Every structure is written in structure tokens, then in C-alpha cells.
Amino acid sequence: MSYSPGLENVPATESSISTIDLEAGKIWIRGYSLEELAMECTYEEVAHLLIYGHLPDTRELNEFRRKLVDESLAPKEVLDILGMLPKDMHPMDLLKTGIAALSGFDPELENSDIEANRRKSVRILAKTGFLVGNLGNIREGGFRLFRSDLGHAANLLYAIIGRRAESWELKAFETAFILYVEHELAASTFAARVIASTMADIYGAVVGAVAALKGPLHGGANEKALEIFQYDVEGAEKFVRERLARKERVMGFGHRVYRRGIDPRAEVMKNVLAELCNRIGDDRLYRVAVRVEELMANEKNLYPNLDFYVAPVYKLLGISPGLFTPIFVASRVAGWCAHVIEQQAANRIFRPRAIYTGPRGQKISGRG
Ligand code: ACO
């Protein structure tokens, strides 16, 4: 049996949802460039593309937007459960619990045909957005309802910051939000597909994916990457050099697939950061980012991933660090659902082999 640690370069499934095209420097989502989708579309259009397989026409888009608002309010019981959990629990753990609890209220939980999975995906998308936007508010005993005059990303930001965002704030937020939506077979997506391949329900697959995303080597990196941005340029350089000297990882750098250059999504967010810094008239965070990027390229031949450039953008938007990874969930959930739908529509259970390195033939008797 051949073996590739971490399944590096091993194709584990066929998929028509998305691919990373290293030669073109693009991420294709059902044939469209993710970077272009992020610049030109709304989140709802891209989520529709993932769940239904095509970009919506005006009627479909209006209908989809309406459902995302109508389906958003989580049951009182779920809000009560979250309100009872320890105040210092990480928001990702609250969210995992919240989504698991939501499954009990979905009348189609056990129906995994393609249309039922699509209907459940819309409900999961709507309610996950609501929960993420309100994680902080629920702890204070309240919540902000999603509004029919706002899109999904705008509603999320409204629930988080407690006011309607300025158009330039929303543009920065929604660009990042779309860039997070889907990225081929990332660890969390693979986890979702493995769970779905047992024909377990879509909520279970999403809960497993949330658990995988929390890790600092995956989605948890966007919260951790923020640490660098508390410093000025010299302080950040010192921080990075010390980490590297201790053989510690610098969060927001490196990627299993982008070995030889910057993640194309990070390139888009780098421009967004530059624009934000320009608008507020303070370019410290941009200067820190560019210096650290140069340093990591020279010292380690490593390049920024999306999380590195999202962290300072969220900081400038006034979002609390504990919500960075939950916001990633609120976006990526559309990609996970698309993968569960695809997996269960033509399923074969994942059951790989392990290369055994332990002993054989041990005797149970005679242990002393
Ligand atoms: N900082 C310092 N060194 C690093 C980093 C980093 N961020 N990433 C990789 N390296 C080093 C490794 O120590 C290793 O060095 P060695 O050969 O001297 O042992 C070498 O680069 C190769 O690294 P691997 O561990 O083989 O890379 P792998 O593909 O397994 O891991 C990963 C990819 C997990 C993303 C890794 O680069 C990492 O830990 N990065 C930091 C966490 C992060 O930013 N994650 C976000 C990923 S993108 C996303 O989820 C949106």
C-alpha cells in the first residue's frame, strides 16, 4: 500500500463543486473564479451557486434572500441552551452545540434525498448566520432579528456590531465572507464528506466540520493570526523572528496546496486591507502585514493564506477576535452543505486503510 502522510496530493473524491487551479492561480467554483465572485456578487448569489448548482436569476435570488431571513430565527430552546453554557466557553464550541441542537427541530432531519438536503441547507445557512451574528448577544440575554431589507452578510454584521454597516465596511466584510465560502477538500470539508458518507444527517456532517474548523491549523488560524497585529512593524518583526527561532508556526502562513506562492484569496484581501487603511488614514496594519509577508518569504519561503489578511480587516471593522472563526463557519457552511448534497447523491462510504505499525501475536496470558 502506498502512503502519503496527511493524504498530501491524494485525490479522495471526485467533485464538480470547486478546484484549486495552481497553474491559472485561480479557485474555480462551479466554473467561476472565486476572486471574481467575491468582487462582483453578493454572498447569497454564491451560496445559491453552491447549493443549487447555478447562479440565481432575479426571481430565484429574491426567493433565496427571503428564505434566508424567514428561516433565520433559531428556536427559543436552542437560544436557552446557549444562554446556559459557561460564559468563558469559546464561541466555536457554543456554535457547535447550537447547530447540534438545531437538528432536533428540523422536520426533515432523516430525509437525505437531494431536494430535502437542499431545503435543510437553506435552513442551516440561515440559522447558522443568525447564531454567529448573535453569539455575543445571546450571552447578554438577547438577540437581533435578521431584517428583510438587508442581505445575509449585512445582517450578520448588523447583529455583530449593532448598527447598519457603512457601505465600505460591508464591502470589505462581504468580500472576505465570500472568499471563505468554499475551498475544495479542506480538512473540515473532508470531515463533512466522511460523516455524510455514512448517510448520517447533514446537521451531523456540519457539526463535525465546525469541530474540524476550530483547529488553529485550519480556520482557528484567523483568530491566532491577530496576535502579530498588536505590534508596530519592528515589534512584529521581532515577534516573528522569535517564533521562528523557537521553531513555532506563524499563524496565517503556509498552505498544503499553495506551496510556491500566495493564496489567491489572500491577494484579494491584501488589497481590501490597503483600501481600509487608506480610508481610515492609518496604515500601520498594512505596513505590519507587508513586512511580515516579506520576512516569511525570505526566511521560510512561506506565503500568507487567507486568514493572515482577514485578521487585520476584521480588527479594523471592530469585530471581536472570538467571532473570527465563527464568521468563517457562517460562510463555509454553504460549501459544506454543497459537498454533503453531492456526497449523498452518489454515495460510497469512506473506508480507507491504515498501515499497521504495532505488534502482532501478543499473548494475553502471562502478563504477571
Ligand atoms: N510557520 C512556520 N513554519 C511553517 C508554517 C508556519 N505557518 N507552516 C509550515 N511551516 C514549516 C513546517 O514547520 C515545515 O518545516 P520543516 O520542513 O522544517 O519541518 C514546513 O514548513 C512544511 O510544513 P508542513 O507541516 O509540511 O505543511 P502542511 O502542509 O502539513 O501544513 C499548514 C499546512 C497546516 C497550513 C501549515 O502551513 C500551518 O500550520 N500554517 C499555520 C496555520 C494556518 O495559517 N492555517 C490556516 C490554513 S488556511 C485556512 O484554513 C483558510
pTM: predicted TM-score of the whole model, two decimal places: 0.97
Question: What does the mean pLDDT of the chain come to?
Answer: 97
Q: Would 307 be classed as within a structural domain?
A: yes
Contacts of 44 (CB under 8 A, 6+ apart): 56, 61, 64, 65, 68, 151, 152
Q: Would 360 be classed as within a structural domain?
A: no
Active site residue 282: no
pLDDT > 80? residue 124? yes
Q: Are residues 87 and 174 in the same domain?
A: yes
pLDDT > 80? residue 367? no
- Residue 250 Cβ inside 6 Å of ligand 1? The answer reads yes
- Residue 218 Cβ inside 6 Å of ligand 1? The answer reads yes
pLDDT in tens, 150-166: 999 999 999 999 999 99
CA of 19 to the centre of ligand 1 (A): 21
Q: Would 361 be classed as within a structural domain?
A: no
Domain that holds residue 168: 16-216+321-345
Q: What CATH number has the domain bearing residue 340?
A: 1.10.580.10
Residue nearest to atom 25 of ligand 1 (CA): 256
pLDDT in tens, 32-57: 999 999 999 999 999 999 999 999 99
CA of 362 to the centre of ligand 1 (A): 38
- Residue 249 Cβ inside 6 Å of ligand 1? The answer reads yes
Active site residue 90: no
User: Which pLDDT does position 260 carry in this prediction?
Assistant: 83
Please choose from 4, 217, 308 the residue to mutate so as to test ligand 1's pocket, defined by most ligand atoms within 8 A of CB: 217
CA of 297 to the centre of ligand 1 (A): 13
In angstroms, the CA 139 to CA 128 distance is 16
User: Which pLDDT does position 243 carry in this prediction?
Assistant: 97
Q: Would 73 be classed as within a structural domain?
A: yes
Q: What percentage of the chain has pLDDT greater than the value 70?
A: 100
- Residue 306 Cβ inside 6 Å of ligand 1? The answer reads yes
Q: Are residues 185 and 331 in the same domain?
A: yes
- Residue 304 Cβ inside 6 Å of ligand 1? The answer reads no
- Residue 253 Cβ inside 6 Å of ligand 1? The answer reads yes
pLDDT in tens, 7-21: 999 999 999 999 999
Query: Taking residues 261-285, what's their average pLDDT?
Result: 96
Q: What CATH number has the domain bearing residue 247?
A: 1.10.230.10
pLDDT > 90? residue 366? no
In angstroms, the CA 235 to CA 216 distance is 23
Q: Would 337 be classed as within a structural domain?
A: yes
Q: Are residues 256 and 123 in the same domain?
A: no
User: Which pLDDT does position 261 carry in this prediction?
Assistant: 85
Q: Are residues 138 and 199 in the same domain?
A: yes
Q: Are residues 149 and 273 in the same domain?
A: no
User: Which pLDDT does position 2 carry in this prediction?
Assistant: 87
Q: What percentage of the chain has pLDDT greater than the value 90?
A: 96
Q: Are residues 145 and 269 in the same domain?
A: no
Please choose from 179, 300, 303, 308 the residue to mutate so as to test ligand 1's pocket, defined by most ligand atoms within 8 A of CB: 300
Q: Would 248 be classed as within a structural domain?
A: yes
Active site residue 255: yes
pLDDT in tens, 218-261: 999 999 999 999 999 999 999 999 999 999 999 999 999 998 88
HEC letters along the chain: CCCCHHHCCCCCCCCCCEEEECCCCEEEECCEEHHHHHHHCCHHHHHHHHHHCCCCCHHHHHHHHHHHHHCCCCCHHHHHHHHHCCCCCCHHHHHHHHHHHHHHHCCCCCCCCHHHHHHHHHHHHHHHHHHHHHHHHHHCCCCCCCCCCCCHHHHHHHHHHCCCCCHHHHHHHHHHHHHCCCCCCCHHHHHHHHHHCCCCCHHHHHHHHHHHHCCCCCCCHHHHHHHHHHCCHHHHHHHHHHHHHCCCCCCCECCCCCCCCCCHHHHHHHHHHHHHHHHHCCCHHHHHHHHHHHHHHHHHCCCECHHHHHHHHHHHCCCCHHHHHHHHHHHHHHHHHHHHHHHHHCCCCCCCCCCCCCCCCCCCCCCC
Q: Are residues 56 and 111 in the same domain?
A: yes
Q: Are residues 122 and 270 in the same domain?
A: no
pLDDT > 90? residue 139? no
Q: Are residues 114 and 29 in the same domain?
A: yes
Q: Would 6 be classed as within a structural domain?
A: no
Q: Would 89 be classed as within a structural domain?
A: yes
> Residue 262 — very low, low, confident or very high, per pLDDT cuts 50/70/90?
confident
Q: Are residues 64 and 182 in the same domain?
A: yes
pLDDT in tens, 78-87: 999 999 999 9
Q: Are residues 197 and 260 in the same domain?
A: no
Considering its fold, how many domains does the chain have in total?
Answer: 2
Residue nearest to atom 28 of ligand 1 (CA): 256
Q: Are residues 189 and 329 in the same domain?
A: yes
Residue nearest to atom 3 of ligand 1 (CA): 249
